[in-house]
């Protein structure tokens, strides 16, 4: 009984620490092309545990762990730093803004939400997305689905001149204003940006857990930029580092509440298909064998979107790739819901995979 109480207390402490880490990383504001705050976070987290930290030409950041092994394969493990958001496209004479979406948004989740607008000089300005109250739709045929370009963003300014006096200009970024909270059962978290601060935390935790360990591969671990606007950073980092294996680390939409694949709490994902990437047989065998050996809880997942693996696998003559992921409900919105246990399963899985990727394993994956 005492032993069980001790185990429960240790788990509560571990989950409390994990929640604090998740809260910190998800609340960082950073949309595509403006990833500097997350890059600063990762530089601090990676530096003590790797041999060197480098950036690519678009701003991706990676820690390198050199290997003493002969003919060590190059392995690239990459999340992405950016979250979805908006950019000011126009300031109207009445002081309201119109925006362009950065990343994919469902118009149904945009209206009547709080956001933070960041000016060029770093000033943070509260804004909301407007909506039409039902009183104003009477006699007009009822509410209609708005186009994002038509949604009003409102900072309460009297006119365009007042907005500009606070430093607001076209091109300023707008990020969801949302704080991470625990669900009542303390198993799940609700926050913004788990896509893909999940991956950011995954690589920083991987670096810490591998600190001081010798590997059979030359490991490049870090995070790309601009994934949400077309997997752009993956092209850059894969070209720069020329890996023999690429592991994307990303979050996918859960379909459990809609009767589809991806159930929160059921473990990491074996993502065997998405429209931009097919899991090759050698890589699939490696994933499944490693998961079984390590006792990892996993679920099969057929993706409908894409990850950086879709870009990386086509570079440099072809790079065997996969995605180490979890699923979350309601991604690309202010409020995403996901299970902390899934993160722990994915982290254990990623560690097991990286430790096994020596020359013979990589050659087996690439044995066509």
Which run of H or E residues covers position 283? helix 281-294
Please give the pLDDT value at position 6.
Answer: 82
Is 80's pLDDT higher than 60? yes
Reported in sequence order, the residue ranges of the chain that DSSP labels E, i.e. its strands, are 52-55, 61-65, 74-80, 85-91, 97-102, 114-118, 124-129, 153-154, 173-176, 181-182, 188-191, 218-224, 245-253, 268-274, 277-278, 298-302, 321-328, 336-339
C-alpha 298/C-alpha 255 separation (Å) is 15
Name the fold adopted by 85-176. Elongation Factor Tu (Ef-tu); domain 3 (2.40.30)
Please give the pLDDT value at position 131.
Answer: 78
Question: Which of the four pLDDT bands, split at 50, 70 and 90, describes residue 358?
Answer: very high
Name the CATH architecture for the domain at 2-83+192-365.
3-Layer(aba) Sandwich (3.40)
Question: Distances in Å between the alpha carbon of 107 and those of 11, 186, 346?
Answer: 40, 30, 31
Choosing from 35, 83, 227, 345, the catalytic residue is 227
Averaged pLDDT, 201-228: 98
Question: Which of the four pLDDT bands, split at 50, 70 and 90, describes residue 146?
Answer: confident
Is 136's pLDDT higher than 50? no
Average pLDDT, the chain: 95
Of residues 22 and 8, more confidence is placed in 22
Is 78's pLDDT higher than 70? yes
Q: What is the pTM of this model?
A: 0.95
Averaged pLDDT, 2-6: 75
Work out the percent of the chain whose per-residue pLDDT is above 70: 96
Q: Answer yes or no: 10 catalytic.
A: no
Is 135's pLDDT higher than 60? no
Is 211's pLDDT higher than 60? yes
Q: Are 25 and 196 in contact (CB under 8 A)?
A: no
For residue 108 the two structure tokens come to 């149904």
In the chain, where the domains are located: 2-83+192-365, 85-176
Please give the pLDDT value at position 140.
Answer: 62
Please give the pLDDT value at position 302.
Answer: 97
Please give the pLDDT value at position 197.
Answer: 98
Averaged pLDDT, 188-208: 98
């Amino acid at each position: 009984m005492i032993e069980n109480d001790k185990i429960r207390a240790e788990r509560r402490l571990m989950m409390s620490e994990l929640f604090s880490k998740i809260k910190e990383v998800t609340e960082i504001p950073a949309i595509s092309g403006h990833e500097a705050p997350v890059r600063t976070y990762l530089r601090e987290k990676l530096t003590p545990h790797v041999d060197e930290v480098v950036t690519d030409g678009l701003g991706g950041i990676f820690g390198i762990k050199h290997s003493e092994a002969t003919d060590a394969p190059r392995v690239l493990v990459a999340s992405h730093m950016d979250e979805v958001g908006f950019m000011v496209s126009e300031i109207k004479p009445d002081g309201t803004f119109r925006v362009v979406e950065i990343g994919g948004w469902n118009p149904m989740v945009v209206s009547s939400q709080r956001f933070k607008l960041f000016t060029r000089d770093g000033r943070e300005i509260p804004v909301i997305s407007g909506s039409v109250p039902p009183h104003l739709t009477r006699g007009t045929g009822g509410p209609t689905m708005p186009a994002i370009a038509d949604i009003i963003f409102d900072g309460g300014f009297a006119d365009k001149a007042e907005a500009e006096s606070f430093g607001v200009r076209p091109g300023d970024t707008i990020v969801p204003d949302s704080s991470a909270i625990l669900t009542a059962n303390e198993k799940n978290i609700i926050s913004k940006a788990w896509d893909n601060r999940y991956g950011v935390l995954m690589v920083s935790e991987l670096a810490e857990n591998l600190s001081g360990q010798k590997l059979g591969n030359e490991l490049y671990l870090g995070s790309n930029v601009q994934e949400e606007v077309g997997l752009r950073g993956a092209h850059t980092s894969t070209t720069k580092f020329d890996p023999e294996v690429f592991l994307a680390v990303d979050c996918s939409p859960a379909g459990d509440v809609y009767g589809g694949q991806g159930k929160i709490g059921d473990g990491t994902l074996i993502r065997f298909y998405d429209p931009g990437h097919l899991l090759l047989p050698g890589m699939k065998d490696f994933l499944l064998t490693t998961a079984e050996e390590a006792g990892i809880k996993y679920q099969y997942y057929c993706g409908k979107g894409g990850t950086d693996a879709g870009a990386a696998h086509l570079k440099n003559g072809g790079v065997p790739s996969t995605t180490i992921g979890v699923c979350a409900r309601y991604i690309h919105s202010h409020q995403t819901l996901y299970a902390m246990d899934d993160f722990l399963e994915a982290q254990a899985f990623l560690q097991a995979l990286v430790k096994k990727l020596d020359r013979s394993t990589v050659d087996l994956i690439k044995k066509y």
